[in-house]
Amino acid sequence: MKKLIPMVVLTFASMALIAEEDLIAKLDSDNDGRISIEEAAQDASLSAMFTELDTNKDGYLSPSELGN
């Protein structure tokens, strides 16, 4: 059981990372590794949360901002 809990946590963390990478791959049309507000417009829910997620207010969502 003690080994199972860390494995489950690691599995969920890996799934979140894969989902983040999939979102960037799907929306990052200029392949710069981040999502601009124009690119985010392709996804209504991401577009609605863009300002909140863009913590450094540079107009782009980085992988670290999407991971939070």
Among 45, 65, 47, 46, CA closest to 57: 65
Among 26, 25, 24, CA closest to 60: 24
Among 38, 34, 42, CA closest to 67: 34
Residue pLDDT, tens place only, 10-68: 333 333 433 456 889 899 999 999 999 999 999 998 899 999 999 999 999 999 998 86
CATH 1.10.238.10: does it fit domain 4-67? Answer: yes
Enclosing H/E stretch for 10: helix 4-27
Return the pLDDT at 5: 57
Return the pLDDT at 60: 97
Domain ranges of the chain: 4-67
